[in-house]
């Protein structure tokens, strides 16, 4: 009786051996565990979480890199000549007296941007599905955002574009796939522009229209206009700026105050904007940027550009009597910038009529009383300011001066002026602080490349001049 039980056990033994054999064969399957909460991405939805995470940061106003946030905007205003550093009541890390104070931290924007670019490249190079509706949205957005990030990097870490030197000027390392082993050196500036343009063209091929993805086709076109404008490809700049301007009408004078104070809901002239969903972090960023903002008044020179004074709706609404800013701090791209791009691009092309047309169409929406349209005859004299040459190095004409002044007024406190100085001749200027002179030298307009990258592979990544 008992013995027979053990005979059965011998069967069990054979069974165990079988089990063992099966285990050996299906080892890989057995070991293939996917922990919940973590995923090795396969579907577009899974890849999409990377984008949604970034878009969420833009919605909530915490993103500093792609569109920017109030803090990154105010920081560039501090670097520029829009504010009067000599009248600072406090100088701290949030309110540096000049760009040189931030040399150590602005280089981080380089690594931060590539951290974002990695996400797009993971999607672009790894995502298998390329045809479903969702996949197309994700791919289109990834290409668009990669272009935007590269555009931002170019503005910060490359010297301004000069047509005849574009191929001998250092650009950026061009990374178009996710690869931990890749060691790309810096391309030239023309290749960099082409790379950005290619990203945008690829993005447009997916024609993203879903507003949840923020970087819709029109947003891409706005950035294309900005890119070509920076690269002095006036025709292309005109082409895309015109398309976008038609889609996003500029704000009329009676809507201006509402527009500059819009808290979360962007007005219809806004092409893309950060901080559209309330969040604690976003509110915190805005509050601290505002505290910094109130440490420094607008410069007299800026105030002087408002030739129409009180007749200009902006004059009464962007700063108070002590010249402290009253405009809401937002990071955005607006149709007014497209209009200014059109005006300046036509001016560079020599088409002064069209240039004046666009210039006046903006002015007409800002000057509420005694408005006189500019003609070639009544253009004011060249405004005495830091910028003395235009983007191509020519001395400022009356028309160009008027366009640049208009741009300075319209985009005041939007972080634009710093790049305007860079684009137009990189003028050197100094500010006094605690008895010392702090000079924004020419080389400081181009931020230093992330130092650890330069040190890691000697000779591979070439540091910008002056650092």
Partner 1 sequence: MKLTTLLLFAVIMQVSAGTYAQKISLSVKDAKLLTIFDQISDQTGYSFVVTNSILQHAATVSIRVKDADLKAVLDQIFKNQPLEFSVDHKTVLVKKKEPSFVEDLIARFQAVDLRGSVVDENNLPLAGVNVVLKPQNKVVATTNGEGHFNISIPESGATLVFTFVGMETQEVVVKANSKFINVKMISKSILANDVVITGYNKTSKKMMAGSYAVLDSTVFANKPFPNVDDLLKGQVAGVVVSAQSGQPGTAQKIRIRGTNTLSGDAEPLWVIDGVPLQDNVPNIPSSSEIKAGSLDNVFLTGVAGINPNDIESITILKDASAAAIYGSRAAGGVIVVTTKRGKPGKMRLNYSSLFSSSTSPQRDAGLMNASEKIAYEQGLWDEFSAPNFELSKKDPGIKFPVIGITGLIRAGRGKYAGMTAAQQDAELAKYAQSNENGYDLLFRNSFSNTQHLSLSGGADKYTYYTSFGYTNNAGLLKNNDYNRYNFKTNLDINPVEAVKIKIGIDYYSVKSKAPALGSVDPFKYAYFVNPYESVYNSDGSYRADETYYSLNRANDPTSPIIRNLVPDVGFNIMREMNETSSISKKNQTLLSTGLDLKITKQITFESLFSYKYTNNSVNEIYGANTKAAFDNRLSLDVDTRKQYASINQTDNSSSEYMGRAQFSYKDYFGQNNAFTAYAGSEMRGSNTKGFYSKRFGYDPITGNTNTPLPAPTDNKLIDYDVLQSYLAAIDRASGDLFGEDKFISFYAATEYGIQDKYIFNLSVRADGSSYFGSDKQFNPTWSAGFGWHIAQEHFMESLKPTINRLTLRLATGYTGNISKAVTPQLVLGYSNDVRNINGNTYRIGDVLGAPNPLLRWEKTYDVKGSLDFGFFNDRITGLFEAYYRKSDDLVTKAQTLSTTGFIDQRYNTASLENKGLEFTLGGKPILTKDFKLNLSLNFAYNLNKVTRFNAPYASMSLSNTWKGYPLSPVFSGMYTGIDPETGLYQYQLRPDAVINTSTDLNKSDNYRYYLGTAIAPYTGGFNIGASYKAFTLNIGGAYSWGAKSFEYIVPPVSYDKAKRGTLNESPQIYQNDLYAQYLNVRRNAADRWTSTNTSGTYPRVWDAFGQKYDFGYYNPMDSEITRGAFLKDLSYLRIRSIILGYSLPAKMLKKVSLSTVGFSLSLNNFFTFTNYDGMDPETPGATYPISRSVSFGVNVGF
Short-list 48, 12, 71, CA closest to 134: 48
Residues 205, 432, 452, 462: which binds partner 1 (CB under 8 A)? 452
Residue with tokens 């993005």: 203
Short-list 413, 404, 411, CA closest to 83: 413
For the chain, state the CA radius of gyration.
27
Q: How far apart are CA 393 and CA 387, in angstroms?
A: 10
32 is written with which tokens?
């293939």
Question: Which residues have a Cβ under 8 Å from the Cβ of 404 and sit 6 or more positions away?
Answer: 344, 387, 390, 396, 420, 424
Question: Following DSSP, what letter does each residue of 197-242 receive, concatenated?
Answer: HHHHHHHHHT----GGGS--HHHHHHHHHHHHHHTT-HHHHHHHHH
Chain centre to alpha carbon of residue 371 = 34
Chain centre to alpha carbon of residue 138 = 20
Give me the least distance between CB of 372 and partner 1, in Å please. Answer: 43
For residues 230 to 269, the per-residue mask of contacts with partner 1, x marking binding by CB under 8 A and - elsewhere, is: ----------------------------------------
Q: How far apart are CA 327 and CA 344, in angstroms?
A: 25
Residues 87, 103, 122, 291: which binds partner 1 (CB under 8 A)? 122
Chain centre to alpha carbon of residue 335 = 15
Tell me which residues in 188-217 interact with partner 1 (CB under 8 A): 211-212
The CA-atom distances, in angstroms, between 228 and each of 197, 232, 342 are: 8, 6, 11
Residues 69, 72, 88, 121: which binds partner 1 (CB under 8 A)? 121
Q: Which is nearer to partner 1, 59 or 390 (CB)?
A: 59
Q: State yes or no: residue 179 binds partner 1 (CB under 8 A).
A: yes
Give me the least distance between CB of 295 and partner 1, in Å please. Answer: 17
Q: State yes or no: residue 414 binds partner 1 (CB under 8 A).
A: no
Q: Is 192 exposed, middle or buried (0-12, 13-18, 19+ CB in 10 A)?
A: buried
For residues 15 to 54, the per-residue mask of contacts with partner 1, x marking binding by CB under 8 A and - elsewhere, is: -xx-xx--xx--xx-xxxx-xxxxxxx---xx-xxx-xx-
Q: Which is nearer to partner 1, 59 or 233 (CB)?
A: 59
Per CB under 8 A, which region of 181-189, 324-332, 366-374, 431-439 contacts partner 1?
A: 181-189
Residues 131, 167, 268, 278: which binds partner 1 (CB under 8 A)? 278
Residues 184, 310, 432, 466: which binds partner 1 (CB under 8 A)? 184
Per CB under 8 A, which region of 111-119, 156-164, 224-232, 387-395 contacts partner 1?
A: 111-119
Residues 87, 175, 191, 247: which binds partner 1 (CB under 8 A)? 175
Q: Which residues bind partner 1 (CB under 8 A)?
A: 1-3, 6, 9-10, 12-13, 16-17, 19-20, 23-24, 27-28, 30-33, 35-41, 45-46, 48-50, 52-53, 55-56, 59, 110-111, 114-115, 117-119, 121-122, 126, 173, 175, 178-180, 182-184, 211-212, 277-280, 450, 452-453, 456-457, 460-461
């Amino acid at each position: 009786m008992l013995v027979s039980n053990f005979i059965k056990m011998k069967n069990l033994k054979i069974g165990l051996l079988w089990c063992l054999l099966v285990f050996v064969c299906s080892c890989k399957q057995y070991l293939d565990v996917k922990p919940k909460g973590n995923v090795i991405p396969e579907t577009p939805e899974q890849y999409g979480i990377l984008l949604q995470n970034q878009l969420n940061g833009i919605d909530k106003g915490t993103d500093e890199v792609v569109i920017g946030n109030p803090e990154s905007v105010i920081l560039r205003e501090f670097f520029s000549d829009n504010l009067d550093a000599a009248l600072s009541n406090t100088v701290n890390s949030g309110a540096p007296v000049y760009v040189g104070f931030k040399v150590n931290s602005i280089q981080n924007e380089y690594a931060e941007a590539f951290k974002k670019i990695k996400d797009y490249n993971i999607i672009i190079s790894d995502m298998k599905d390329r045809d479903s509706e969702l996949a197309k949205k994700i791919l289109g957005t990834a290409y668009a955002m990669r272009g935007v990030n590269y555009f931002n990097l170019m503005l910060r870490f490359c010297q301004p574009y000069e047509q005849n030197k574009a191929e001998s000027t250092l650009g950026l390392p061009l990374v178009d796939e996710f690869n931990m082993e890749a060691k790309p050196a810096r391309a030239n500036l023309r290749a960099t522009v082409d790379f950005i343009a290619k990203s945008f063209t690829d993005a447009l091929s997916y024609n993203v229209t879903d507003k949840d993805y923020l970087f819709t086709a029109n947003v891409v076109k706005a950035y294309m206009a900005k890119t070509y404008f920076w690269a002095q490809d006036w025709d292309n700049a005109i082409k895309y700026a015109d398309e976008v301007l038609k889609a996003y009408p500029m704000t009329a004078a009676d809507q201006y105050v509402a527009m500059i104070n819009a808290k979360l809901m962007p007005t219809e002239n806004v092409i893309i904007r950060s901080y559209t969903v309330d969040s604690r972090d976003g509110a915190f960023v805005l509050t601290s940027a505002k505290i910094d903002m109130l440490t420094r008044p607008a410069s007299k020179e800026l105030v002087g550009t408002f030739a129409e004074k009180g007749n200009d709706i902006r004059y009464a609404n962007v700063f108070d009597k002590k010249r402290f800013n009253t405009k809401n701090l937002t990071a955005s791209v607006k149709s007014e910038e497209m209009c200014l791009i059109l005006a300046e691009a036509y001016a560079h092309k020599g088409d002064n009529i069209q240039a004046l047309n666009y210039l006046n169409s903006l002015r007409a929406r800002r000057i509420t009383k005694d408005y006189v349209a500019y003609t070639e005859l009544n253009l004011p004299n060249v405004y005495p300011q830091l910028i003395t040459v235009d983007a191509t190095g020519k001395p400022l004409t009356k028309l160009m001066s008027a366009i640049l002044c208009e741009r300075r007024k319209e985009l005041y406190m939007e972080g634009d002026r710093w790049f305007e100085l860079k684009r137009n001749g990189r003028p050197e200027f100094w500010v006094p602080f605690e008895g010392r002179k702090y000079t924004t030298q020419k080389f400081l307009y181009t931020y230093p490349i992330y130092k650890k990258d330069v040190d890691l592979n000697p000779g591979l990544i070439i540091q910008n001049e002056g650092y």
